[in-house]
Structures are given as C-alpha cells and as structure tokens.
Amino acid sequence: DAGVTQSPTHLIKTRGQQVTLRCSPKSGHDTVSWYQQALGQGPQFIFQYYEEEERQRGNFPDRFSGHQFPNYSSELNVNALLLGDSALYLCASSLNTIGHQYFGPGTRLTVT
Amino acid sequence: KQEVTQIPAALSVPEGENLVLNCSFTDSAIYNLQWFRQDPGKGLTSLLLIQSSQREQTSGRLNASLDKSSGRSTLYIAASQPGDSATYLCAVLNSGNTPLVFGKGTRLSVIA
C-alpha cells in the first residue's frame, strides 16, 4: 500500500515564476492538507481540500492556490514566486478532515 | 489562537541516556496531539498520537504523555541511540475542525 507521494522532489525556480506541486494521498484517504516549512521552523498550514473544495485556509496570500481532483490527488500552485517562498512543501492526507494525517516526503522549492 | 512551544530547541546527549522532550500549548480544547520525527530535509514520520481523552501512549522506547488541563505533553525516549538523532515536532489538532498547529521542534543529537 503506497503512502503519500509528492512530486517533484526538488525544484528550482526564479522570482516571479509560477510553480505547481503535486500530491497523491494514501489509499483510502479523501482529504489533503498542504503545509509550508521554512528552514528551522515548524510546518505552517496552507490549506485543506475535501470533496474537491477548499475547506480551510491558513494565513497565506492568494498567490497560493490549490485543486483537488476526483481521485483525491491534489495540486498546490504558487504564482509570482518570492525568495521567501523557498521552503519544504509538505502534503498530508487523512480520512476526512479530522482524521490522523499521514505526511509525504515533501517537495523542496528553491526560489533564486 | 493555538500556539505550540517546544523546549529545548536543541539537545545533545550521550548514547544510552534517557531523555525528555517538552511541548506546551495555549488552548486546552484539543482533539488530539501528535509527536513526529523529521530527518534533515525529509518529510514527517508520525511517532505517537494521543487522543484528548488519553493520558499516554507508548511505542517501543518512546512514551508520550498528555496533561490537557495544564497544556503540556512530554516525549520520553529511553536508552537513546545515535539513530534517534533527528528533529522531533509536536502538533496539536484543536476541536472544531481546525488545522494541525506545530511547534518549531527540538533538534536531538545522540552522540556515540
């Protein structure tokens, strides 16, 4: 049984560009949450998707958007990248919005 | 607004020592509390999850306790090993369908 998978593993982008990160949830899970983890910090909640809708959102600007597909996989999009967007982006899946969250390996985004 | 604090920020111990990591949270209306392990540049591995109605959970050499009324949790690691070296994160899920709130973590080094 595959756990949570994320792609790509690493990504380097230039300021002002746009990026899309992908997440496939653990089998049987229907909810995906995204987190941003800056170096030396704990993960910060970005948003959560359930039934293809954004259910909760953290304190992130509208440059951060997402999508959930009918197969429960999810994308995180970031527009107009800033240097401060450099971080490890973590995806977590769960069975419903309050279930135990299982985390993927993350995508390391570097903005130059 | 829930805030999670972890003390100490970093800890270095000799192999074989028993140790305690601390986590405190400001809002006691929690649904559950989780302890995670994170290796450098990697995703999160869930170690223990304690429901709000529980006092402790054990897995192998790890024991986590929860005192909801005082807003505290501890992670006890017995007979530490160099392979235990990692960052340990505490996260709280509040009641009312709110997202996981993380502490900044404790970076543990176990010296052989």
3-state class of B107 per DSSP? strand
- List all residues 6 or more positions away from A71 whose beta carbon is below 8 Å from its beta carbon: none
Given a cut of 90, whether residue A51 has pLDDT beyond it is yes
Band of residue A1 on the pLDDT scale cut at 50, 70, 90: low
pLDDT in tens, A59-101: 999 999 999 999 999 999 999 999 999 999 999 999 988 788 8
**Encoded tokens for B44:** 């999160």
**Encoded tokens for A87:** 């971080």
**pLDDT reported for residue B99:** 86
Report which residue type is found at A72: Y
Selection from A105, A80, A101 nearest residue A92 by Cα: A101
Determine the residue of chain A that is closest to B90 in CA distance. A42
**A41/B46 touch (CB, cutoff 8 Å), yes or no:** no
Q: How many CB atoms lie within 10 A of CB A11?
A: 15
Given a cut of 90, whether residue B96 has pLDDT beyond it is no
**Encoded tokens for A48:** 């959560």
**pLDDT reported for residue A98:** 79
Reported as half-sphere exposure (CB side, CA atoms, 13 A), residue A81 has a value of: 20
pLDDT above 90 covers a percentage of chain A that reads 91
Of the candidates B99, B104, B105, the beta carbon closest to that of A56 is on B99
Given a cut of 80, whether residue A2 has pLDDT beyond it is no
pLDDT in tens, B53-95: 999 999 999 999 999 999 999 999 999 999 999 999 999 998 7
Mean pLDDT of A21-42: 95
Lowest mean pLDDT among A95-104, B16-25, B29-38: A95-104
Mean pLDDT of A32-61: 95
Q: How many cross-chain Cβ pairs, A to B, lie less than 8 Å apart?
A: 56
Any CB–CB contact under 8 A between B31 and chain A? Answer: yes
What DSSP state is assigned to residue B83? G
Selection from A46, A99, A100, A98 nearest residue A74 by Cα: A46
Band of residue A44 on the pLDDT scale cut at 50, 70, 90: very high
Mean pLDDT of chain B: 94
Contacts of B46 in chain A (CB under 8 A): 100-103
**pLDDT reported for residue A97:** 80
Of the candidates A42, A104, A105, the beta carbon closest to that of B89 is on A42
Distances (CA, A) of A111 to A42, A44, A49, A80, A91: 20, 18, 26, 11, 19
Band of residue A38 on the pLDDT scale cut at 50, 70, 90: very high
